[in-house]
Amino acid sequence: MEKSGEAYWKATLGLLTKILAVWFLVSFGAGILFADLLNNIYLGGYPLGFWFAQQGSMYIFVALIFVYAKKMGEIDRKFDVHE
């Protein structure tokens, strides 16, 4: 049981690390660091960097919630800790 618990938390933390990396790249990267580069591309008449900073990142964040829920469900079933 001890090894199973360690493997479960390792899988959970691995997923969380990936989700947080995407969150960081979208919020800080696309909205701030790469905004000038992305502003050369237009989406719906607005510069892409501005779009990400204002609303695009929110769409990605909502998508991350669904991805996290799906993947966490898979991890829970794999380690037999699902509801």
Specify if 42 maps to a domain. Answer: yes
Residue 1 has pLDDT above 70, yes or no: no
Q: By the 8 A CB rule, do 15 and 69 touch?
A: no
Its domain, for residue 33, covers 2-78
pLDDT digits (tens, 9 = 90+) for 11-29: 999 999 999 999 999 888 8
Specify if 63 maps to a domain. Answer: yes
Q: How confident is the model at residue 79 (pLDDT cuts 50, 70, 90)?
A: very high
pTM of the full structure: 0.80
Helices (H) and strands (E) counted in the chain, each on its own, are 4, 2
Specify if 83 maps to a domain. Answer: no
Residue with the bigger pLDDT between 7 and 2: it is 7
Per-residue pLDDT at 77: 94
Domain count, the chain: 1
Specify if 40 maps to a domain. Answer: yes
